[in-house]
A and B are shown apart, each in its own frame.
Chain A
Amino acid sequence: MGNKQTIFTDEQLDAYQVSLFSFPRLHGRYHELAPHLVPMDYTNEPDCKVPLALIVNMPELKENPFRNRIVESFSEDGMGNLSFNEFVDMFSVLSEMAPRELKAIYAFKIYDFNVDNYLCKEDLEKTLNKLTKEELTPEEVELVCEKTIEESDLDGDHKLSFADFENMISRAPDFLSTFHIRI
């Protein structure tokens, strides 16, 4: 992006293009985040990570209530520090061309705040509060959480496993069009 020239080997470029849904400009964006950290030359696959605080300020994520969770769930360390590969990974999954199943997997990760592989009530409350900026009263939040679990909990354990979640999300008409970030 811009006038700076990022350097990748042809092989690298090709590999990224094969494994990604959207590569263009990604490195440029990544570099922009932390010009002092990220080298332009990626032929040696340098090991550098951009901290969460910087990534979250991208205009694409800035308004997203789940921005921290998004970044965290794509980071290998779970703390939100993204290497370029993870960064690319994130926007690949969130791109338009990623299949529903893939999106569902990461959506589940994003909403799973406590990383216990279940969406429990606690997760739902956090999701709701982020979504509504805590405008709902606790009673309302409680009700919505209950209802949500009631609707899609198939195995009766009062929390949503990934299977429950996927079943629910696979019927959502808007999921594909909304779980999608364009960069």
Chain B
Amino acid sequence: MSTVSESLDGSSRSLSAARRHKSIRKTSRRIYSAYQDHQEGSSDEEDKVDERVDSNDPEEMFQNIQYQKEIIANIRTRPWPMRRKLKVLKQARETVLRYEGRLTRTRGYQTAGADLLKKLSRLLYNIVVLFIPWEVRIKKIESHFGSGVASYFIFLRWLFGINIVLTIMTGAFIVLPELLAGAPFGTTRSKTIPKEHLSSAQDLDTIWSLGGYLQYSVLFYGYYGRVRKIGSAGYRLPLAYFLVGMAVFAYSFIILLRKMAKNSRLSLASASDESFTFCWRVFCAWDYLIGNPEAAESKGAAIVNNIREAIVEEQEKKKDTSLAVLISLRILANILVLLSLAGSIYIIYFVVDRSQRLEKEKPELTLWEKNEVSVVVSLITMIAPSAFELVAQLEMYHPRTSLRFQLARVLVLYLGNLYSLIIALLDKVNSMSSAVQVSNSNWNESSSFLATISHPEGNSLSTLMSDISLSKNHNSTTATIATVLAVTSRSSSGDVYNQTAVFEKNTRQQDQCWETYVGQVLLSDWITPEYGEFKIAENVLHLIYNQGMIWMGAFFSPCLPAFNVLKLIGLMYLRSWAVLTCNVPHQQVFRASRSNNFYLAMLLFMLFLCMLPTIFAIVRYRPSQHCGPFSGQEKIYDIISETVATDFPVWFSKVISYITSPVVVLPALLLLFMLIYYLQSIARSLKFTNNQLRMQLQTERTEDKKKVFQLAAARLQIPEAAADKKSDHEESNIASQESSNHTPSPCQNSSTTNFESPVHRGNCIRTITKSVSRGDLNRGGVAGSIRSPAVTVLPKHWLEHIPNRPPPFLGGPSGTCRSKSYHHMVYNSPPHCSDSIHSDPLCRKTVHSVHPVEAAGIITAQSYRGRRGHTTRYVIVNEHEPRKKLLRSATRVPRHYFMEEPTEIMELYPRNVRRYTPRNAHSKPRPHQSHASQQHPSEEDEEEDQGKGRRKMSLGKSHRPRSPSNLQQPAHFYIGDRLETYITISKENHTAQGRYGAQDVDEEENGVGEIACGDEESHSESQANVRVVDPLLLQTRCHIHSPRRQYLPQTRARHVEPHVKSKSKQKLENVQTESDSASLASSSDQQNSSNDQYIQVIHNKERYLKSGARQGQMAKKKSKTSFDLKITESNDLVCSNV
């Protein structure tokens, strides 16, 4: 099955043209059947059949071929066993070949060509893979040590790629032009080695420290000429130099951000990170790539740790007690870290400053004084990370988190130290550049301090700073920075401090065995002979730091990227060799995922921080006066304005000046801020909606679950309910009626149940199930919010409440207006019941059932159904009405009701209370309707019987609704009338007629009547359900109320006409009289009562007479005939409409 569906998916996806679908379906049927057949014989046969079929239709054939090709293309992704794949493939190819032969030859050639192309591309891909640097090596590492270790190398390779691009940029636009077209070596001052250094320029140590010939080469900024245009083509080297310097940053930023964006897209799912903590730790923990026993061992240990941590976390989550402690601990830890960071930065700055002071004051420095800076710095870099690690234990973070914190802190430490050094350096540069203005004479010495370093006589050079200060290289300050950076980066450790140490020892104490020191440093960096864990994180940090140095120095030393490329190549081989030969992956596995943005975020951070000093130097300081492309300028960026001014038309420079003026820049900045804010808020809202959707999905699922459970429960309950009903029915016909009523009342679906109730006797279970489902629908429909709670509860209550609940509860349960109405009804009903001959138990049952319904939500839910029912009911009414209408012209009313019902339902809630009764009426009408149907054949008899029964009832009931107050409220009258009518209708088929009659009367009486009726209808429908719940009540009420109305309608058919007229006129009178009696029953239903009164008065006579005699018969008839009534009603509607 799954294969079929999948392949169907594939096919539908691939085949875009809708017109193809037919043929595809055919072919797919063919094909799938073939796939699923494991017997080749049958599939072959099918193929042959297909051939015959398809041979005539080239279009279809073509589509078939296309489809087969799809299969061939997608066969890899099918989860089939290989044997089947091969078979299917063979088959598909055969058909393709066969059919294609029949199509045009060109198509055959085309496919042959495509095949060839595919093969070529495959070959090409294989070749390309060969050229992806270190692909094989990385794969090898990956398969031995898992993707975690490999991620380091992949990161390294990515950095390598970036550096290649940077190298090309600087090489192609700066170095090469300078070499080709610039002034040759030795022609200008900046390109000549000073005489005093010439002798040592080729010394190894000089070269190693980037002095001598290296210093006066394209490696450094100082070498580049200041000539604006070089070569015959007039290449603007200085401009290019500046632009490339900026482009390096721009490119790095863009590439980094793009990579990060891509990664975050890849790891979209991991945004909701911890939702599958345990699952991922179990199912995704093992790295299937691991093939090395040691790696497997450590991976296993790591997994155990991981799972244990998760368990601990889970347990801690449960505890939640130590939260305050934890937070305070973390705050404390962060304070400690901050303090140590600040302390280390201060110490470094202090030491640097002190050493500078010492240099100035003392001609000779002690060993300690000379090495102070480097020692302090290396001490800090050594101690601080372990201190951080200790502090991190305080925080009790997840290991991965703590590792990140650790890395970030170490990075900050490095940067802080670096910055303090750089700031000190810039201070020096600053003083130098200001000194340059004073005395510009010693340009000879202006060559970088490296020259002086190479001087054995450079006595006073204890530190870099001192070097700079003493050498008085006023001009080449930038160059010195460049060289410093170059050296640091080249020395590969990225440890500036080590480098400074190297410098010191290098410069001053050649006999102090600095080679050993450098050797040590380099060895520790380049060669890692120790047999230990391969610390991915630290190595990555190293790479990042290194790259930062490149960015920082690229402007001052265009060849830095090239050096870095070399270094990275070296690193790659060195590390991979080290890993493969003697290293075991770090136990604490760093997140292996390639989509991890943490490295990249750090790199971005680094890029930004490294860009700052460079930009600062470019903007702030005066370039050296005698070397470099910008010599002679006040500021480096002047090259741009100069170019704009001289080489562009006037208008352009004007435009530029406008653009750079605050008038434009400030608004642009503001705009940017606004844009950022806007985008961020959008992102936030998207995140929010994302969360919402996820929550929705979650609840949806749980809802589905609940629904399934409910359905199951309903199925279980239904039989019980059915049994109850049956028993009731069996007891007596009345009982059966009641049961039908009862069933609806508890359920929201009352209307449906009511309808079914007559059927109940036959199939109780079925009806119930239907009702439940309808109830669900209703829930989903309008009243959803209200209903949902009620609905879910209803079925259960239903079953439970119906049997046991006492009558008093009826009034109690519902707090809403409806409940009141119910109460009234209930109260009335019991007496009525007794009056009407209906057995008390029945009444109680009905009442009980109503109460379970309790919630308003249920009612509303029912109302929807009720509306449907109402329409039908109305129809019924219409049926009766036509007779009445003929007399009264009530036909319009029903239409109005229909129209109004849906809209009014919402509004009429207050009226709903009244409407409850109407619903009862509806429910009643069914039985009554049934009677009515019966009535049609023998209407009079039934009506009479009912009327008798009702009359009796009405006598009892009539007292309730009738209240003098009703008279005062005409609008209420409508409602009341309706209610009454409903009740009456519901109670007896006559009610329908009664309604019409009543409604008609209302209409006649008040224009409002239509609306009210509509409202009532809707309400009545909704209520009807509830009311239906109390069939007994309804009946009883009907008897009570209906007698008035029901009798009216019933009689109306025959008698109503006169009654109605008389009613309308007599209403006031009757109302008063009846209201008194009715007031007992429904004080709240005053309005209704007023209307009822009119009707009632009329009906009462009839009903009283009929009800007494007929009640028992009526009930039976009603239940039986309810369906018929509906049907008949529909017919009537047509009539009425006509």
Question: Chain A: residues with CB nearer than 8 A to chain B?
Answer: 15-21, 59-60, 62-66, 76, 83, 85-86, 88-89, 92-94, 97-99, 101-102, 105-107, 111, 124, 127-128, 131-133, 135-136, 140, 143-144, 147-148, 151-152, 154-156, 165, 168-175, 177-182
Contact = CB atoms under 8 A, between A and B. Distances in A.
Contacts of A128: 282, 307
Query: 6 tightest CB-CB pairs across the interface, nearest first?
Result: A171-B269, A85-B82, A63-B296, A89-B82, A173-B270, A147-B278
A154 B90 contact: no
Contact of B289 (A93, A127, A178): A178
Interface in B735-760: none
Contacts of A171: 269-270, 272, 275-276
Contacts of A132: 300, 303-304, 307
Interface in B508-554: none
Contacts of A16: 86
Given A144-B311, A177-B593, A169 B77 contact: no
Contact of A175 (B76, B89, B284, B290): B284
B79 interface: yes
Contacts, number: 173
Contact of A15 (B90, B279, B304): B90
B283 A173 contact: no
A18 B119 CA distance: 10
24 contacts: A15-B86, A15-B90, A17-B122, A18-B72, A20-B76, A63-B290, A63-B291, A64-B288, A76-B81, A85-B82, A86-B83, A92-B82, A102-B79, A127-B282, A140-B307, A147-B278, A155-B701, A169-B284, A171-B270, A171-B276, A172-B279, A172-B284, A174-B591, A177-B592
Contacts of A140: 307-308, 311
Contact of B285 (A15, A131, A133, A182): A131
Given A86-B81, A147-B278, A177 B304 contact: no
Interface stretch (B17-25, B139-147, B471-479, B903-911): B139-147
Nearest to A167: B276
A57 to B, nearest CB: 12
B295 interface: yes
B293 interface: yes
Given A131-B286, A132-B303, A147-B314, 12 more contacts: A19-B76, A60-B291, A63-B293, A89-B82, A106-B79, A127-B283, A128-B307, A144-B310, A151-B279, A154-B701, A178-B146, A178-B286
Contacts of B314: 143, 147
Nearest to B294: A63
A172 B275 CA distance: 10
B689 to A, nearest CB: 18
B85 interface: yes
Interface of B is mostly: helix
Contacts of A107: 283
Contacts of B86: 15-16, 19, 85
Contacts of A94: 288
B269 A170 contact: yes
Contacts of B766: none
B434 interface: no
A29 B285 CA distance: 27
Contact of B705 (A105, A155, A169, A174): A155
A21 B146 CA distance: 20
B144 to A, nearest CB: 10
Contact of A62 (B287, B291, B310, B593): B291
B80 to A, nearest CB: 8
B277 interface: yes
A43 to B, nearest CB: 14
Contact of B279 (A99, A106, A148): A148
A151 B81 contact: no
A38 to B, nearest CB: 15
A151 B82 contact: no
A81 to B, nearest CB: 13
Nearest to B282: A148
Contact of A174 (B72, B278, B284, B291): B284
A19 B284 contact: no
B276 A172 contact: yes
Q: Which of B277, B279, B282, B314 has the most CB of A within 10 A?
A: B279
A18 B82 contact: no
Contacts of A66: 286
A169 B281 CA distance: 11
A143 to B, nearest CB: 6
B113 to A, nearest CB: 16
A136 B282 contact: no
A144 B296 CA distance: 22
B1122 to A, nearest CB: 40
